[in-house]
Structure 1
Amino acid sequence: MKKGQLGFLTGTHAVNDLYQGAIPAMLPFLMSERHYGYAAVSGLAFAASGVSSLFQPLFGLLSDRKPRSWLVPAGAVTAALGVVAAGLSGTYLLTWVCVALAGIGIAAYHPPATSQARAAGGSSQKAMSIFSVGGTVGGAVAPSLVTLVIGGSGFDASYLLAVPALVMLALWMLKGPWMRWRGHTEAPPLTTGAAGKPAPDAAERTDDWRAFGRLVAVVIGWSVPYVTVTSLVSLHAQRDLGQSEAAGAVVLTSYTAAGAVGTLLGGWVGDRYGRMTSVRVGYLTALPALAGIAWSPWFPLLVVCAALFGAAMFLPFAAQVTLAQDYLPNRPGTASGLTLGLAMAAGGLCSPAFGWLADSSGLPSAFYALIVVFVVPAALAVRLRDRVLPVPGLRSPVPAETADTGAQ
């Protein structure tokens, strides 16, 4: 494991996802100061998340054709410029374009950064979980930073939001030890050996699209309850259990914070007991936790169930990323782009249906419907097969004949 490189990439992930979290944090200020309506704000949210999710697989394809490590700083800086320009723009159309630009920058960052983090972490699931938590931390910091800058000084001070990206860019351009891979500034692709030469079994590293398709279906099924619970759980506490807005925030915070804990725990479980253990335990634990959210008659129980659900949902997160890259060893960027981008977008597009159900039949009905939907990815996740491939950078790769191809 290249700890210096992994640590630096984790920091860049925090910076990049800070701007991903800054956009929704800006929406209340845009509504109050520019008098945007709900439809206009929804359009900005789509410009950020929808555009980003659609472009991410394209950047994955680009990074697979040729190493483009410069997309890591370029993506984060583009995201920062988009957010700053959105704060300084005057018209809604220009604001929408700037937010879409930020989404494209966020999309450009993830595939090459995820591939580099995998190369830096080797076979360690904990390494990928640490990299993933960096993004969670950045997203968690974003609301406080936006409130401090825009809430304190108005949109005219939006340029201050670019500081984290500029610091990260300066560190990248210094080409310090944290960026070096055996004396080079480019990490070797996943299909090469320690000295940059093709691994002995590189020719036998075939892409298992069938297994990858099953994994994408699992991730889509994962994203539907994740996005929906994120949107509705605080409202559930307020409207069904009679709690205050502060109590609703406590539930949401517990849910998101537990996700970070679950990501780290999943990496540890994957290293100690195998990554498929973290996948199966995560889904099988998340299902009853989701039922607990739907049924909870008391607020403390809702908080416990929400925290358990958040931790369980992120227990398989790092394993799913590395498993996708092992299913498509010749296209790690594409694997990252599809699982982290397009699959998440598909899940997000399904979530409004549960909002309509909540409007017509109540929030508990929406949560019970989620349980029925979530049974499908949970059943598919239990049947996923592992695929063990030689670790990049190791001199003694695992023999190809011992690998499980995942086609069973």
Structure 2
Amino acid sequence: MYGGGLLRSPVFLLAVGHSCVDVYQGAVAALVPFFVAERAYSYAAASGIVLAASLLSSVVQPLFGALTDRWALPWLLPVSTAVAGIGIALSGTGGAYALTLATVALSGVGVAAYHPESARVARRASDGSHTAMGWFSLGGNLGFAAAPLLVAGVVGIGGLRAAPLLVVPAALGGVLCVLALRAIRGTGGGAPKNVRAAGRDDRASFLKLCLAVICRSLVFVGLSTFVALYARQRVSGGQLTGSAALFVLYAGGAIGTVVGGRLAARRDRVRVVNGSYAAAVPAVAGVVFVPGPAFYVFVALTSAALYVPFSLQVTLGQDYLPTRIGTASGVTLGLTVSVGGVAGPLIGAAADATSLGTALAPLIVFPALAWLLTRTLPEPEAPPQEVTKSLVQNVS
């Protein structure tokens, strides 16, 4: 499946569809400089837009995860993709701040609905392979990386009034979701409804993992919200300088995800996750304090260090809660990932009162906390293949 037939495999289709959805997560931060420029939003107001998408997604995504633990909801994949795209497309059509918040929040709901079911389906299609799940996560990271380029190409040229053109990836992603589900049906994928894996939930380890992912989220969302604006100060450039920094932040994550999957195939996941957080501490410090072109190097290192554990934390969460796979996916991909948006307005307010560099400096602490939290995590035993296949409800 992962050799010559990769382009026709459900995992590949899901990975590309994942990239089409996560374009809209990356697009929110990429739109912030344009909202500031065209609508004169303050740092705090602009970061509130990121909060609108991430906070609603944080709350709703675990709920969708719980639903997918009870019922098969394959139709969520194309529908949620469309909702994510429509919300971002509408965000540039009205100047009212409340309308911007509402449309971005709508996109966040679409993203929230997509991830728990897609993670379940992807794990079924990959037969539990960490490498294949890494490719699925890579698709989302490439979507993140493409977002600033897409926004710069569309909104940078046509202004916010051109934002409706950003709906195109959603149209493509919806089609790919349908094709992936048909491909899985064609291979006889699926299992009876409400089948749950054998094993006991390790809630204490799951909670500790969630706290570590929250720390990661605070760093990544904080940087993604302001790195484009901060780059213009550190490198002394214009809009293109900021878009380049955001692209590097997201593209480095794509590399980190692939590396994480390959490392986990040779070593246990917990060691890989713990080591990546240790490496993130000096990398984030470099982003905050190092000026000039080297700034981009530290942005790339930070991104890679934060993304090496990304797909591994999803499968760890699933293995810590084997009887609640959908809930585990919803929490690790939703509540703990998006909750970082809460820090955005705080960073923005601190930046308005002091400077952006001063406001970003506390982010250095969070990778260190994540390192401490993951040091004592146990490595769960991987479920047998036949159990892994039963983790996803019937997609037919």
Match of 1:139 in 2: 144
Question: AA paired with 1:123?
Answer: G
Q: 1:272 aligns with which of 266, 270, 280?
A: 266
Q: Is 1:260 the counterpart of 2:265 in the alignment?
A: no
> Which has the greater radius of gyration?
1
Q: Give the direction of change, closer, same or farther, for the CA distance of 1:332–1:181 in structure 2 (3 Å limit).
A: farther
Match of 2:114 in 1: 109
Question: AA paired with 2:215?
Answer: G
Q: 1:222 Cα deviation (Å)?
A: 1.5
Match of 2:187 in 1: 182
Counterparts of 2:169 and 2:34, CA distance in 1: 21
Match of 1:400 in 2: none
Match of 2:41 in 1: 37
Counterparts of 2:309 and 2:177, CA distance in 1: 30
Question: AA paired with 1:208?
Answer: D
Partner secondary structure for residue 266 of structure 2: helix
Question: AA paired with 1:371?
Answer: I
Counterparts of 2:333 and 2:287, CA distance in 1: 26
Q: Give the direction of change, closer, same or farther, for the CA distance of 1:376–1:44 in structure 2 (3 Å limit).
A: closer
Q: 1:388 aligns with which of 363, 371, 381?
A: 381
Q: 1:113 Cα deviation (Å)?
A: 0.4
* Higher mean C-alpha displacement, 66-75 vs 114-123: 114-123
Scaled by the length of structure 2, the TM-score of the pair is 0.82
Match of 1:72 in 2: 77
Q: Is 1:327 the counterpart of 2:320 in the alignment?
A: yes
Q: Is 1:303 the counterpart of 2:266 in the alignment?
A: no
Q: Give the direction of change, closer, same or farther, for the CA distance of 1:302–1:389 in structure 2 (3 Å limit).
A: same
Between Structure 1 and Structure 2, how many residues are aligned?
A: 383
Counterparts of 1:269 and 1:114, CA distance in 2: 20
Q: Is 1:48 the counterpart of 2:53 in the alignment?
A: yes
Match of 1:207 in 2: 201
* Higher mean C-alpha displacement, 150-159 vs 9-18: 150-159
Kept after mapping to 1: 8 A contact 2:27/2:147 = yes
The 5-angstrom pairing of residues 211-230 of structure 1 reads: 211-230=205-224
Question: AA paired with 1:284?
Answer: A
Q: Give the direction of change, closer, same or farther, for the CA distance of 1:350–1:334 in structure 2 (3 Å limit).
A: same
Kept after mapping to 1: 8 A contact 2:17/2:174 = no
Q: Give the direction of change, closer, same or farther, for the CA distance of 1:102–1:215 in structure 2 (3 Å limit).
A: same
Q: Give the direction of change, closer, same or farther, for the CA distance of 1:223–1:155 in structure 2 (3 Å limit).
A: closer
Q: 1:280 Cα deviation (Å)?
A: 2.1
Counterparts of 1:31 and 1:305, CA distance in 2: 25
Q: Give the direction of change, closer, same or farther, for the CA distance of 1:252–1:16 in structure 2 (3 Å limit).
A: closer
Question: AA paired with 2:13?
Answer: F
Structure 1 runs (4+) deviating above 6 angstroms are 394-397
Kept after mapping to 2: 8 A contact 1:285/1:312 = yes
Kept after mapping to 1: 8 A contact 2:51/2:341 = no
Q: Is 1:161 the counterpart of 2:161 in the alignment?
A: no
Q: 1:55 Cα deviation (Å)?
A: 1.0
Scaled by the length of structure 1, the TM-score of the pair is 0.80
Q: Give the direction of change, closer, same or farther, for the CA distance of 1:280–1:356 in structure 2 (3 Å limit).
A: same
RMSD: 3.4
Counterparts of 1:364 and 1:60, CA distance in 2: 37
Q: 2:337 aligns with which of 320, 332, 344?
A: 344
Q: Give the direction of change, closer, same or farther, for the CA distance of 1:381–1:351 in structure 2 (3 Å limit).
A: farther
Q: Give the direction of change, closer, same or farther, for the CA distance of 1:222–1:181 in structure 2 (3 Å limit).
A: farther
* Higher mean C-alpha displacement, 388-397 vs 300-309: 388-397
Match of 2:105 in 1: 100
Partner secondary structure for residue 180 of structure 1: helix
| Unaligned stretches of 5+ residues in structure 1 | 193-197, 398-408
Question: AA paired with 1:128?
Answer: M
Counterparts of 2:97 and 2:288, CA distance in 1: 38
Match of 1:63 in 2: 68
Q: Give the direction of change, closer, same or farther, for the CA distance of 1:396–1:255 in structure 2 (3 Å limit).
A: closer
Q: 2:371 aligns with which of 344, 353, 378?
A: 378
Counterparts of 1:340 and 1:313, CA distance in 2: 14
* Higher mean C-alpha displacement, 351-360 vs 115-124: 351-360
Kept after mapping to 2: 8 A contact 1:56/1:107 = yes
Q: Give the direction of change, closer, same or farther, for the CA distance of 1:276–1:61 in structure 2 (3 Å limit).
A: same
Higher RCO (Cα < 8 Å, 6 or more apart)? 2
Match of 1:404 in 2: none
Q: Give the direction of change, closer, same or farther, for the CA distance of 1:157–1:284 in structure 2 (3 Å limit).
A: closer
| Unaligned stretches of 5+ residues in structure 2 | 391-396
Counterparts of 1:366 and 1:311, CA distance in 2: 22
* Higher mean C-alpha displacement, 357-366 vs 11-20: 357-366
Q: 1:100 Cα deviation (Å)?
A: 2.2
Counterparts of 2:388 and 2:107, CA distance in 1: 40
Q: 2:309 aligns with which of 309, 313, 316?
A: 316
Partner secondary structure for residue 45 of structure 1: helix
Q: 2:86 aligns with which of 77, 81, 85?
A: 81
Q: Give the direction of change, closer, same or farther, for the CA distance of 1:348–1:31 in structure 2 (3 Å limit).
A: closer
Kept after mapping to 1: 8 A contact 2:77/2:118 = yes
Q: 1:29 Cα deviation (Å)?
A: 5.0
